[in-house]
Every structure is written in C-alpha cells, then in structure tokens.
Structure 1
C-alpha cells in the first residue's frame, strides 16, 4: 500500500514508525518545500527492506553513483576501478558494498564509515524538515548501487534523528501536554535509550503527569515533552489522560450539604442521610 502526504501532518518519525511496524520494503521519497533549506534543496530517497533503512540518496544520487564516488574520494578505489564497476551496476542484484567486500576491494570498517556518512548523518539532517511532501512506494525498485550492505531499523534512526534535533518549533503541536501522563506499551524497551530517556520511560506508568515527571527528575517540562515525543514516535509509550481520583467516603460525609429536587435549596441532603445511604449500599453489595 502506497502512502503519501505532507510533513506538516505526519512527522518523519511517525512515517518511519509506520514503515517499521508494517515490516515494509520500498522507497520513501522526501521532497522539502522549495527554498526551505539550502542544504536540503533536493528530493531524497530512503530505501527500506523489511522495515530497515538500507540507503539514503538525493535526487541525483543513483544517477551519479554516489557510493562509488565516495569510495573514490577516499582513495579506496582508483578511477580505473570505478569506471570498470560502473558498467556492471545495471545488473546488480545485491548491495554494492556486499559485492565489493566479496571482491576484497573494501572492508567492514570502511563500509561502516560510509554507512554512517551516507545514511545516519543524512537522515538525521532530514528530521529538520517539517514542510514538504513525502511518498512511500512499496513497488519501487531498490537502489542496490547505493547500499553498503549495512542497515539500521527505522526505530533506531528515528531516535538518533530526534536526539540531534535542535529546533523543535516545527513539532511543538505534536508534543504531549504537560498535564497528561505517559503509558508504557511494553515491559522492556527494545532499543537502547540514553539515561534521561530511560528515566522518563521508567516513570511512564500512566499515573504521573509530564509536569510532575519533570519536577521529579529535575528537568525542564519542555525537555520531558520532547523525550515523551521521542518515545511515543518509536512506539514505546503513548500519551494518556490522568484519571481523576475518586473522593473517599469520609470526604463525602464531611462535604457541605447539597441540594436535590431540581435545585430546590429547601431540600438539603444531610451528612446523616449520606451515612445511612452508604450503609445501605454496603449491605446491598
């Protein structure tokens, strides 16, 4: 099933969660609004395989053989090797990095460096985009020529991207409210959390408001809201309203007289009446 829309409605983290939860394979295209950010003026394409991010390219990445160029710039491959490999790329049916490693042209450490630069750093930058369009196409061909053979879950990359986000103004409307609580959705987090994230997750019992969590941990409310959004967007918690506590029986008995009978103040309900009523209800129970 294809999915398309606007980043002002669905954040990149929410889109990533959709892809991972559905264990989906396909191509996610991100197109920022024109002129929004000079450093992100192109469309970007993120390849997913079974909910894992395999590669990230800009609009011209695949045409220019960006991964090969990165290897050449680092002098891991000669110009002659790059030219020879370019003729073989059309029939490639596995990640380029996997093939080059099998030929002993690159090693695991080099591929890791490329993956961090091409995928992790670029994707984290994309989390700064809050205005633009996106489309997920499960029928699109995967871009094997831009794959190192390494991958990360969409959940892991989303968490990294949101941790590095400095300007949260574009997500302010999506942050959980200070008076609401956070409720865990699992007994254990299935991703590595930092110390503050784990502290908030540990208190996400659906009973303590975000404002009180912030006071208990000595953090700003806005910081806890951001952490709450991070945990929520990767499916670890959900925002819930705090149920109002029920007044105790003694509080009812000590309450001032109330009126019944359509608001007629001449018919007060006394404390003794409430006491007898509570006794009757207990016997009935």
Structure 2
C-alpha cells in the first residue's frame, strides 16, 4: 500500500525514519509546489531497498540515464560505451555500477564518488529547500537498476551525511533546538552510526541537564554550531529536545532555639509594667 501526503503534514525526517524503521522497499517521490515553475528542478525520486537508500534522481526530466551521464562527464566511459549502455541499461537485472565493476570498467573508489554525488549531495540539496507539495512512497514502484551504483546506506546515515554538508541553515532556523533548552538521549546505548568528533561530544553531554548554551560554552563551540549538531542528532533519532527543568529556589531556614515558658512569663510581666 502506498503512502501519500503533504510535506506540510509530515517532515522529510519523519518520512525517512518511517521508511528505515519499517525496512521498506520502494520509491519515494517528492513533488514540491514549486515544480509548477519549470525553471526549478526540485522534484526527487529516492529509491529504498529494505530501508536503505540505493539511488536518488533529481530534476524535472528524471530519466534512467542520469548515472551514465555522470560517468560520461567524468570521462570514465567512452562515448561508444555510454551509447551502448544506454540501450541496454533499462534491461539490467543488477545495479549498473555493479555490472560495470564486474566488467572492470569502474573500480570501488569511482563508485563511491558517484554515490556521493548522486545520493549524498542530492539529499543535502533536498533538505536545504523549502517543500510544501506532495510526497508519495510507492512500495510497488520499480527501483531502476540503471540508476544504482551498487552501494547503499541506511536512510538515517545518508540523512546525517547530507545535513553535515549543508552550508545554508536559514531554512532550518525555526526548527533548530532552542539555545535555552536541553538535549536528552533517546537511548543510553552508544549509537551505531558513525558520529564525527563534535557530534559524539554533544551526544555524550545530552543528559537533559545542560542547556545548549552551556554545552557550547563547555565545548568552546559557537551556539549555532551546537544547535545544528543537536538538530542532526535529533533528525536521526539519537536525542530529543527537552525543556530544561529549573531547580526550585533554596530557602534558607534559621532554626531558633526553644523558648522556655518562664521566659515568656517574665517578658509579658515586663511589657505590662512598661
């Protein structure tokens, strides 16, 4: 059964997590309202296999030749090879990258470069845009081996890599955790995802006890940097933003020694004579 909705109702982070946690296989199509403007290429097709991203295509004229065109631009294949492969690529029963590697036409490092350019960079671009249109996840859609390098990554890992590459965070300004709030680990178990040094340090301090301002001061980082890291960790389900609980004010109590009855009697007598 396909899942369809509006990006105003479900965030991209929620959709990615849904696909990964359910080990879903299928194609996620994202058609922004801005696609009505033919000068803007912000339609995406993201192919998942068992919750892992295997390919991403972007643009109004998405076809099954995107990967071949990338190889041709890098001059890794001759024009004759590209022409021949374009005829047969749609009939492949394995990822194009895997096939080319078996033919000794591409090596592992080249496939990694292609995967980063095709998948990671496009995910970064995707999250850097404002989307208000529709999305559809179709579990019956053909994955399209012609656009696959043969490499795959967990959706959350690609999401993390894409957000790391993001340079302009202006579209996320309203979604970043507040500087006065705290971060709380979702699990005490160390994450299986490979965090960078700063992400790991922030995760270790995410105990719900320090505000992001305090974490930034402790780690000698800019507050906006810590907010961005907090957003990334939250996006991949490692932490959640919580309101920092304020300790009740400490009221000092002065304990007075007990007053004897005889003293009170003498005091009352003194006051009557005054």
Question: TM-score category by the smaller chain?
Answer: 0.7 to 0.9
**In 1, Cα distance between equivalents of 2:19 and 2:151:** 18
Matched residues, number: 255
1:53-91 CA-to-partner distances (Å, cap 9, x unmatched) read: 11111243324x121222233333333333333332333
Assess, with a 3 A threshold, how the Cα gap between structure 1 residues 237 and 36 changes in structure 2: closer, same or farther: farther
Q: Residue 81 of structure 2 corresponds to which residue in structure 1?
A: 81
Q: Residue 12 of structure 2 corresponds to which residue in structure 1?
A: 12
Distance apart, 1:188 and its partner CA: 0.6
Q: Residue 144 of structure 1 corresponds to which residue in structure 2?
A: 145
Assess, with a 3 A threshold, how the Cα gap between structure 1 residues 254 and 138 changes in structure 2: closer, same or farther: farther
**In 1, Cα distance between equivalents of 2:129 and 2:52:** 21
**In 1, Cα distance between equivalents of 2:163 and 2:37:** 18
Q: Residue 237 of structure 1 corresponds to which residue in structure 2?
A: 239
3-state SS, counterpart of residue 126 of structure 1: helix
3-state SS, counterpart of residue 34 of structure 1: helix
TM-score by length of 1: 0.77
Q: Residue 162 of structure 2 corresponds to which residue in structure 1?
A: 161
Q: CA RMSD in A?
A: 2.9
1:92 pairs with 2:92: yes
1:106 pairs with 2:106: yes
Q: Residue 57 of structure 1 corresponds to which residue in structure 2?
A: 57
Q: Residue 175 of structure 1 corresponds to which residue in structure 2?
A: 176
Q: Residue 269 of structure 1 corresponds to which residue in structure 2?
A: none
Assess, with a 3 A threshold, how the Cα gap between structure 1 residues 169 and 37 changes in structure 2: closer, same or farther: farther
**In 2, Cα distance between equivalents of 1:122 and 1:241:** 34
**In 2, Cα distance between equivalents of 1:216 and 1:36:** 47
Q: Which runs of 5+ in 1 are unaligned?
A: 256-271, 273-285
Once structures 1 and 2 are overlaid, which stretch shifts more, 7-16 or 67-76? 7-16
1:101-148 CA-to-partner distances (Å, cap 9, x unmatched) read: 222222222222221221122221111112233222222111111001
3-state SS, counterpart of residue 46 of structure 1: strand
| 2:42 and 2:126 in contact (8 A); partners too | no
1:122 pairs with 2:94: no
TM-score by length of 2: 0.80
